[in-house]
Amino acid sequence: MEPRYHINLFWSQRDESWVADVPDLKSCAAFGDTPEEALAEARLAIEGWLETALANDLPIPEPRYRPAIYAAG
């Protein structure tokens, strides 16, 4: 099973676009005019990042980033 990496999705006023970044993969990010487009581009960026790492015998980090979980009490 391919690892699943967390993707942060946010609007960048400076770039005037949606940004999707992958905290576990250094410098892995993508942009889009819509949230859906940014996420689709991020998935392609993850695939490219992993392929490049494999081709160059670089270590591939395990997914680590987990958002905080809040319990209702």
Q: In the structure encoding, which two tokens stand for residue 61, read together?
A: 């980090």
Q: Are 5 and 22 within 8 A, CB to CB?
A: yes
DSSP string, the chain: -------EEEEETTTTEEEEE-TTSTT-EEEESSHHHHHHHHHHHHHHHHHHHHHTT---PPP----------
pLDDT per position as a tens digit, 53-71: 999 999 999 998 766 555 4
- What pLDDT does residue 73 have? 46
- What pLDDT does residue 72 have? 52
